[in-house]
Amino acid sequence: MMLQAGRERFTFILIVVAFVGLLFGSWRVMVVQSDFLQSEGDKRQIRHITLPAARGAILDRRGNVLAMSTPMISVAIDAKFLNDKPDHQTSLASALNMPIDVLNEKIRTNAEKRFVYLKRGLAPQEAQLIERLLLPGVHLVPEFKRFYPSGEIMAHLVGFTNIDDQGIEGIELSYNDWLKGVPGLRKVLRDNLGRVIETVDEIRPAYEGRFLRLSVDRDLQFFAYRALKKAMIEHQAKAAGLVLLDVHTGEVLAMVSQPGFNPNDRSLVTANQTRNRVVTDVFEPGSTIKPIVMAGALELGKIKPDTIIDTGDGKYLSNEKVVRDSHGYGQLDLAGILRKSSNIGMVKLVETMTKEEVWRFLHYVGLGQETGIVFPGELTGRLRDPYEWYPVNKTTAAYGYGYNLSLLQLARAFLVLANDGKVVPISLMALDEPPKETRVFRPEVSRLVLRMMEEVTSTAGTGRKAAIAGYRVSGKTGTTRKANKGYDSDKYRALFVGIAPASAPRFAMVVTVEEPTRGQYYGGDVAAPIFREVMEETLRLMTVPPDDVSR
């Protein structure tokens, strides 16, 4: 009996001890270790996820979309988890249409990483195939991808973003801080497959980036692109550029550069293709600058509107520099100097001016200065201070050599003549109010030079191929040799600057074609026809009434 009672007592004690141990363990878990275990559980289940924010849209002046962000899905993996799970790898590779050896290599090289992007930018319907697999260690990350509806037509101006939706060229780069959104933050609960099953807290909402309304017109940009592309093929040229400006506001209505590229598929794009040559390339303007220099001489009273200059037999020595014309033009009035593009006439004209006076007007119209458009890669060119000029520099300045500028700077210079002698700031943004202006030339001087420039597009002028039926057009041709340790004898740049209608200027355009190789290379033959084609469409689209003229 005593033995039996001892066993029962011992059993009872064991039960009590076990029960007390169980109670102590429960108390320890529920009270002492509660915060620690809750924290460890949250680390495995509760996550903070970033909510992507769309970039702001880029629009043209009429509200047409030039760049927009579309929702996409990227696939990320826990490489450490998937490293020893060949079945999961096979299923994932099949769903992504990815070679299994490529996937294996990706996992193997990132074997210790818990988050690795596997494929970016899947359409939502493609991502659904991955989601249905319910594979642990595979995550679908919502993102946005930039899309450019106009493709190559707007590529050099709008630019593009990288895979992380950050601007790296063009407007996308220069206004990246304005366009990019503010990502949100959310606390969520995930299941053991990594899927979000509940939102715990919305810490911060995502804010979409702000939109931009550019000054460009999508239709005018298309006309310019089409004409430039056609000319590139016709003349087998190395490059080309065009810029079209609103005379009164300084807004850029079209800006095209060639060769081009497709911003929606940059797999084969080179750095040479992405360069916006309108602002990044500088060159000597040649004869296109002659109206500006002539206006400066008229403004100073160094010459009169009825001045006659003897250009002789086509050869003239100035400051030990032999200046030549293509023919001996003899006696020429000012309009004749522009019409025939006489270098000798211009040199004799600047001989009435000091080098400081020549420099002053080139500087006043913006040479050697930023245009103010805030565009990546823009070059200001070079216009040396007059105290650095040798006597021959004044001679060559008369016909556009010894300094350089960009195509946009050349267009800005001619806005001054087109806008009654006033400088207008250039803008890539659509303006709601007219900009402030500063005067360079008297209105009567600008109007006189514009009238003389009309003779350039007459049947007797070098720019007759720029003439537009029913409209008065002022213009100036230019053909410059390219500099390369001296001047190449067989590499040219064809240029044309034009303003229309000359009776009441609305638009100014500059066209360049670099190294045409099909025989023709003069600005009047290569660049002037491009001007005519684009300006005709511009006048039609903007419903500008024709002049009371017949051509």
Q: To the nearest whole percent, how much of the chain has pLDDT over 90?
A: 63
CATH superfamily of the domain spanning 218-541: DD-peptidase/beta-lactamase superfamily (3.40.710.10)
Average pLDDT for 29-49: 56
Lowest-confidence pick of 28-37, 138-147, 159-168:
28-37
Whether the pLDDT of residue 198 is over 70: the answer is: no
User: Taking the domains of the chain in order of start, what are their residue ranges?
Assistant: 48-95+114-213, 218-541
CB 118 within 8 A of CB 75: yes
Q: Would the pLDDT of 397 be above 80?
A: yes
The tens digit of pLDDT for each residue in 499-517 reads 999 999 999 999 999 999 9
Q: Mean pLDDT score of the chain, rounded to an integer?
A: 87
For the ranges 64-78, 182-196, 518-532, the lowest mean pLDDT is seen at 182-196
* CB count in 10 Å sphere of residue 97: 9
**Catalytic pick from 69, 174, 257, 287?**
287
Give the per-residue pLDDT at 377.
92
The pLDDT of residue 74 is 81
Q: Mark out the alpha helices in 199-257 (DSSP H runs).
A: 218-235
Q: What pLDDT does residue 7 have?
A: 66
- Taking 70 as the threshold, does the pLDDT of residue 3 lie above it? no
Residue 483 has pLDDT above 90, yes or no: no
Q: Is the pLDDT of residue 498 over 90?
A: yes
In tens, the pLDDT along 284-332 reads 999 999 999 999 999 999 999 999 999 999 999 999 899 999 889 999 9
In this prediction, residue 272 carries a pLDDT of 85
pLDDT of residue 2: 58
Q: What is the mean predicted confidence (pLDDT) over 216-235?
A: 97
Residues in the chain: 551
- What pLDDT does 81 receive? 74
Distance of CA 411 to CAs 18, 180, 245, 465, 516, Å?
Answer: 94, 32, 7, 19, 22
Tell whether the model's pLDDT for residue 281 goes beyond 60.
Answer: yes
Token pair in block for residue 94:
């099949």
Residue 194 confidence (pLDDT) above 70: no
CATH 3.40.109.10 holds for 48-95+114-213: no
pTM summary value: 0.85
- Is the pLDDT confidence value at 24 over 60? no
**Cβ neighbours of residue 335 closer than 8 Å, sequence gap 6 or more:** 451, 452, 455
Across 97-101, 250-254, 341-345, 429-433, least confident range: 97-101
CA atoms within 13 A on the CB side of 358: 32
Q: What is the pLDDT of residue 42?
A: 47
DSSP for 474-512?
A: EEEEEEEEEESSSEEEEEEEEEEEEEE-TTS--EEEEEE
Q: Are 209 and 54 in contact (CB under 8 A)?
A: yes
pLDDT of residue 527: 97
Distance CA 407, CA 399 (A): 17
Task: Read off the pLDDT of each residue in 243-268 and give the average, rounded to a whole number.
Answer: 94
Q: How far apart are CA 314 and CA 309, in angstroms?
A: 13
Tally of CB atoms within 10 A around 191 = 12
| 458 a catalytic residue | no
Task: Give the position of tokens 């359409």.
Answer: 123
Residue 33, Ramachandran bin (φ over 0: left; ψ between -120 and 50: alpha; else beta): alpha
pLDDT at 82: 75
Residue 341 DSSP one-character state: T
- Can you name the residues that pair with 116 across neighbouring β-strands? 77
